[in-house]
Amino acid sequence: MWTLSGFVDEIDDDFAVQCAVARDLGLRFIEFRSAWGVNVLDLTDAQLADVRRILAEHDLQVSSIGSPIGKIRIDEPFEPHLRRTAHAIDVAQLLGAPFIRIFSFFIPAGDDPAMHRDEVMTRMRAIAELAERGNVTLLHENEKDIYGDTPERCLDLLTTVDSPALRATWDPANFVQVCGANPFDAGWAMLRPHIVYMQIKDAIADTGAVVPAGEGDGQLRATVAALAADGFDGFFSLEPHLGSAHALGGFSGPDLWRSAHRAFTGLLREQGIEFR
């Protein structure tokens, strides 16, 4: 039984509206990135208390904190970011989230990522050590323009840091936008041992445009079939980006979010896969 989740801040800024739409669609979990237009790591204690109350009112849990950790340039100061990581772990514990989504630092334009490899690994080890002590699992996402934006560098990162608290989430649309069509063929086999979570969005290789699951070049059908065959039992987090997207998130609105949900659940039904 696969479990659906999603970035419900793409529905509306109001957290109560986000949760109401999620429950209407039958979701039991959300991926928490922002509420009331404020990033999850910048919410006040009072706002986080409201988040807990609203989640309880809608009988929702948090699958992952959709944090911006690692979304700074590799040449920016690290210590303030490490303190922000510690706060992300505190928020995850407060909300009962087993995972925190992270990234592996933006590489300055024109630089060879290999120039920054050692610093990336040093920083990611430090972040992973905090997660180990906090008993949460970090999910590295293959975002564009960071060190781990290709399957090969994702694998390098995961095997070099080699921490039980650092695993991978697979975002097919990001791989399409970085590597072109057919990311499943290019990178799935090498990364599958590290993948414990899925981001669900798709994209067109020629234009980079994000589209509903199964309508682009991200090979969602092949990916879903492979996961079903190997007994995967985890979260699938809808991140539609069907209205707009920016460095720290995106927006779809309720109608497009429902379209994204309908596309992915239709793909699951097409393959006879049960979900909740």
Q: Which amino acid is at 166?
A: L
Phi, psi of 193 (to 5 degrees): -60, -15
Q: Give CA angle at 173 (64, 269), nearest 5°.
A: 75
Architecture of domain 3-270: Alpha-Beta Barrel (3.20)
Q: Which amino acid is at 98?
A: P
Host H or E run for residue 31: strand 29-32
Q: Fill in the DSSP letter of residue 107.
A: P
Per-residue pLDDT tens over the stretch 55-85: 999 999 999 999 999 999 999 999 999 999 9
Phi, psi of 14 (to 5 degrees): -70, 120
Q: Fill in the DSSP letter of residue 135.
A: T
Per-residue pLDDT tens over the stretch 168-220: 999 999 999 999 999 999 999 999 999 999 999 999 999 999 999 999 999 99
Per-residue pLDDT tens over the stretch 112-143: 999 999 999 999 999 999 999 999 999 999 99
Distances (CA, A) of 208 to 173, 180, 205: 8, 9, 5
Which stretches within the chain are classed as H helix? 15-24, 45-57, 79-95, 117-134, 151-161, 172-179, 183-191, 220-229, 253-270
Mean pLDDT of 150-167: 98
